[in-house]
Structure 1
Amino acid sequence: MALWSEERPSEDVHRVLEPDGSLVGDPPDLDDDELRELYWTMKLTRAFEDRALRMQRSGEVSIISRCRGEEATPLGAAAALDPGDWCFPLYRQRSALVYWGVPLDRQLANLMGAEPETVDEHLPFDDRPEPPVNFSPGYIPLGANLPNTVGSALADKLNDRETVSLTFVGDGSTSEGDFHDALNFAGVFEVPAVFVCQNNQWAISVPAHRQTAAETFAQKGDAYGVPNERVDGNDVLAVYQTLKDAVDRARDGGGPTFVECVTYRVVEHNTADEPSVYRDDDLREEWLERDPIDRFEAYLLAEGVLTDDEIESMAADIDEEVQAAVDAAREVPRSEPERMFDNHLRGESWKESHQRAELRRELDGENPFTDWTGEGFE
């Protein structure tokens, strides 16, 4: 049994803002425009995901994993990067993509099963600059991006580039072998990589205390000689401050850092999940009171960075931006089903050829459960 108290909000973390938005530590050196941008990004991310959820319920989107209540962790981490750096997200880091300008309509089109890269010239996806931070595709295989990040960082180190590679890992994915391989390699070769554990305390229906007997996830870095920190993942200023130090350290040749951001998954794992069968609603309510947007908004209002009128105006602008993204994404034609096989391997394996043939027969209305000679499988 872990030494921590299952999923109760922890006080043993670095924090700049209390849950009520009051200062408890020194804030990072960000001007008012940068603070507004962080707030705008979290609000836009939440509005976008709320709309995507409604589209999923109506059948336009097949499935979605939201970062509601966790927006501060990926945002604060991504904001610490510089143009030219690399970010390897999973599927719950949308605020990171939004912050660096990955277009909402592209993101939504992908959720709808369409490919903006293949559309006609008259559609609004062409001729837009790529985001200044390099993003890998969002990965579903958990843990796979950890060694990819180490490889990216090692390549930059060997080529004397001042570039940092940052990735995310869930609390559950720390049980994957890729996690241990990546941290060990990063520690031995002192690569410029930053690993962010977005500890939302649930790996689908498995609680965090079933993943480790260690007191914290952060301390797992000790085994590999990787410096580590533990931060309040619902405090965007604390996340940014901690990750900025880690990114700067990596860029200056100081090697990797592992940061655990303690947050909570207040929604379902994805839209195929029903959390009420395994989770305590009273505990969820306790975490809802620590909402990262409400906390940051209270701080900005108290500091005079924002006014109530400005917040109301922002909400209207965000609604318009989300609607424009929906309208544009709906214009993108659906991708050909066989595109799912592209870019998996260099060349084509027998299994892939077989799966392509099965898909073609299914699309043609034939029985896919036959071999290539037409005989049924026994």
Structure 2
Amino acid sequence: MTNPNNATITTVHTAEFTAGDALKIPTLRILRDDGSLYEGAVAPDLDKATALKMYDTMVFIRVLDERMLAAQRQGRISFYMQCLGEEAATVGSAAALDDKDMIMAQYREQGALRYRGFTLEQFMNQLFSNEKDLGKGRQMPVHYGSKDIYYMTISSPLGTQIPQASGYAYAQKLRGLNNTTICYFGEGAASEGDFHAGLNMAAVHKAPVIFFCRNNGYAISTPANEQFVGDGIACRAVGYGMKALRVDGADILAVYQATKMAREHALATNEPVLIESIAYRLGAHSSSDDPSGYRSKEEEEKWRQNDPISRYRLWLIEKGWLNDADDKATIETLRTEILDALKVAEKVAKPGIEHLISDVYAEPIPALQQQLDDLKAHIRKYPDAYPVTAGRLD
């Protein structure tokens, strides 16, 4: 039988349903909570320098998150988002990539950014939106971006980066580049229309993109079991005709291995792959969220035993690559360095007001220039309401 509909046709003679739970995707686990390997598991081939860079990045992000959430509570920055409990997912996946693979993040992937080389000063400049910020102060905190290290600037609306990643990866293929694009998003963003459009586009046009879904249990306050009844997110990829992997997102060795495998497949076949990371969001959704309103302390404590940093630390110590005493000293040093950098960045001047309209067009159009002129006139009229900006208009 010819098949113009591109669907597999198997003939039956009595009607029968295919159940929604017919496809069960297993979860890759390599590292136990005590730092030992599961029976039959094989650790990926990591050299000591890479393994320690992965660990140092996770620890840096944990300390940065701790310090900057406190800074937000003190009123020093306006907003913050932690990746507490998901450090292994973002760092392990970034470590498996080439430095010129494009990263399109959602907003909880500061681990991938740090692994690529984003400096402490660059983090602070963005968080304080000062004149040294690469984004010229036009983004809210944690909306990072860096052209130099192939990290696309983050957008607030959920899911926008998913079809963009499909298009970018398709362009990589057309240009003959031996690189892929990784696109991070949460399971809540997988409920957006852009998710379905982006995956279908990548599958049909054979774009070498890795879709990395962080299924952390909650879309802000909505638990996963109120978002969908299917077997997570990975099974949706199969429906679009692409390969899928599910991984323990608190197991950095498993995340690294899964991402390395996905990258190799994407480049060898020019086909997309979806990875679903299962790792509980230990912190609040953001500094504006209070998780006590929708989940219990007991639930949080249960998952806290699954800490990705502790698990990986034990494995490194067992291999003789990490000394526990030195590790504690490093954490204290980091706390000092981050606090010192914070104090410097918060005193740096804000960007000039002209940057509100720069980079929109090669040359500001008359309408934008008029709006800027009107704004300056308003500030001059009410200088007491804008004490910092009023003196820097010319």
TM exceeding 0.5: yes
Q: Structure 1 residues 117, 295: CA separation in 2 closer, same or farther (over 3 Å shift)?
A: closer
> What are the Cα deviations for residues 77-100 of structure 1, in whole angstroms up to 9, with x where unaligned?
111111211101121111111111
Do the aligned partners of residues 141 and 286 (structure 1) sit closer, same or farther apart at CA in structure 2, a change above 3 Å counting? Answer: same
Q: Give 5+ residue unaligned stretches, structure 2.
A: 1-19, 136-145, 383-394
Find out whether 1:116 has 2:112 as its counterpart: no
Distance 2:367 2:308 in 1: 46
Q: Which amino acid aligns with 2:349?
A: P
- Residues 1:194 and 1:351: Cα distance change in structure 2 (over 3 Å): farther
Could you tell me which of 293, 296, 307 is aligned with 2:312?
Answer: 296
Q: Give the match's secondary structure for 2:28.
A: coil
User: Residue 264 in 1 paired to residue 265 in 2?
Assistant: no
The structure showing larger relative contact order (alpha-carbon pairs under 8 Å, at least 6 residues apart) is 1
Please state whether the residue corresponding to 1:252 is helix, strand or coil. Answer: helix
Contact 1:83 1:132 in 2 (8 A): no
Matches within 5 A, 1:133-144: 133-144=149-160
Instruction: Note if 1:334 corresponds to 2:324.
Output: no
What code does the residue aligned with 2:341 have? A
Partner of 1:15: 29
Distance 1:29 1:118, change over 3 A: closer
Q: 1:182 to 1:104 in 2, by over 3 A?
A: same
In the other structure, the counterpart of 1:321 is 337
Q: How much has 1:208 moved relative to structure 2?
A: 1.2
Which residue of structure 2 lines up, in the alignment, with residue 214 of structure 1? 230
Q: Which aligned pairs between 1:152-191 and structure 2 lie closer than 5 A?
A: 152-191=168-207
Match of 2:90 among 74, 93, 102: 74
User: Secondary structure in 2 aligned to 1:29?
Assistant: coil
Partners of 1:184 and 1:350 in 2: CA distance: 40
Structure 1 range deviating more: 155-164 or 251-260: 251-260
User: Cα gap change, 1:204/1:345 in structure 2, threshold over 3 Å: closer, same or farther?
Assistant: farther
CA contact (8 A) 1:84 1:133 kept: yes
**Secondary structure in structure 1 of the residue aligned to 2:266:** helix
Find out whether 1:240 has 2:256 as its counterpart.
yes
Q: Percent identity?
A: 33
Q: 2-side partners of 1:331 and 1:245: how far apart?
A: 45
Q: Residue 221 and residue 115 in structure 1: after superposition, are their counterparts in 2 closer, same or farther (change >3 A)? A: farther
2:323 maps to 1:307: yes
Query: Rg: which structure is higher?
Result: 2
Change (3 A) 1:152 1:323: same
**CA shift in 2, pair 1:357/1:286, >3 Å:** farther
CA-to-aligned-CA distance 1:133-169 (integer Å, 9 cap, x gap): 4001122111011111111111111111111111101
Match of 1:274 in 2: 290
- Paired residue type of 1:187: A
In the superposition, the TM-score normalised over structure 2's length comes to 0.81
1:43 partnered with 2:43: no
Is the CA contact 1:268–1:274 (under 8 Å) kept in the aligned structure 2?
yes
How many Å separate the matches in 2 of 1:204 and 1:345? Answer: 35
1:55 corresponds to: 71
CA distance in 2, matches of 1:356, 1:280: 49
**Which residue of 1 is the match for residue 162 of structure 2?**
146
Letter in 2 for 1:315: I
Q: Give the aligned partner of residue 370 of structure 1.
A: none
Where do residues 342-357 of structure 1 align in structure 2 (5 Å cutoff)?
none
- Aligned partners of 1:191, 1:20: CA distance in 2, in Å? 39
CA apart distance, 1:247:
1.1
2:205 matches 1:193: no
Sort the Cα spacing of 1:182 and 1:348 in 2 relative to 1 into closer, same or farther, 3 A. farther
The SS at the match of 2:295 is coil
1:293-342 residue CA offsets vs partner (Å, 9 max, x unmatched): 01111111222221222212322332343234324423421234674565
Q: Within 2, Cα distance between the matches of 1:359 and 1:235?
A: 51
CA distance in 1, matches of 2:126, 2:96: 26
Instruction: Answer with 249-258 or 340-349: which moved more.
Output: 340-349
Q: Equivalent residue of 2:214, what SS? A: strand
